A and B are shown apart, each in its own frame.
Chain A
Amino acid sequence: DAGVIQSPRHEVTEMGQEVTLRCKPISGHNSLFWYRQTMMRGLELLIYFNNNVPIDDSGMPEDRFSAKMPNASFSTLKIQPSEPRDSAVYFCASSLDLGRAKGNEQFFGPGTRLTVL
């Protein structure tokens, strides 16, 4: 398996522009997570899906952020309009939900480095 695939790997955009980040989870995994990582705030969970349904979006910073998972093999994270403070590395991760008692190992993609000028 190719692992979790994210695109683009790097994105530079100007303030006010729409940004769309894409993720293809590992085939067969039924949970998908979007994280944001910055030096100041560390690794933050933005939203996660289980069986394509958003379960917890409490980490989404504000209405400018939205995420979708139209099918089991694709998810997007959209920022509209983007702001300089959105500059960060955005990671997508997927896991096979084995139940909380067993623990679910998450597999991370390489990340998208977003710079908003």
Chain B
Amino acid sequence: SQQGEEDPQALSIQEGENATMNCSYKTSINNLQWYRQNSGRGLVHLILIRSNEREKHSGRLRVTLDTSKKSSSLLITASRAADTASYFCATDAGNTDKLIFGTGTRLQVFP
């Protein structure tokens, strides 16, 4: 079963707008990661946030983590057409080294 579920499933915006994607998970975690997948490609790691962190920034990306609500959000500011992709959250799975990926949000940025 999947640990994370992203919301919304799909998002369409204009270039320059901000895009916010949310992830909910079920069990306690050590860290949460966000990945991007361009069409026909493998996933690419974007950012990792640890359970003791509440917010993290990387360029135009801002990630928040609320462990009390078991949720995270990914904000992409000033979006570009090149940001068009699917975005996945991934959480570590308890006492194992594996990651469990969410269902993904498909982001479409129109020029």
Contact = CB atoms under 8 A, between A and B. Distances in A.
A103 interface: yes
A106 B31 CA distance: 13
Please tell me the size bucket of the interface on B.
20 to 34
Contacts, number: 61
B43 A103 contact: no
B72 interface: no
Please tell me the size bucket of the interface on A.
20 to 34
Interface string A65-102: 00000000000000000000000000101000100111
B31 A108 contact: no
Contacts of A109: 42
Interface of B: 2, 30-31, 33, 41-45, 48, 50, 88, 90, 92, 95-104
Given A42-B101, A111-B41, 20 more contacts: A33-B98, A33-B99, A43-B88, A45-B98, A45-B101, A48-B97, A55-B96, A55-B97, A56-B98, A93-B42, A100-B30, A100-B95, A103-B30, A103-B31, A103-B33, A103-B50, A106-B43, A106-B90, A108-B42, A110-B42
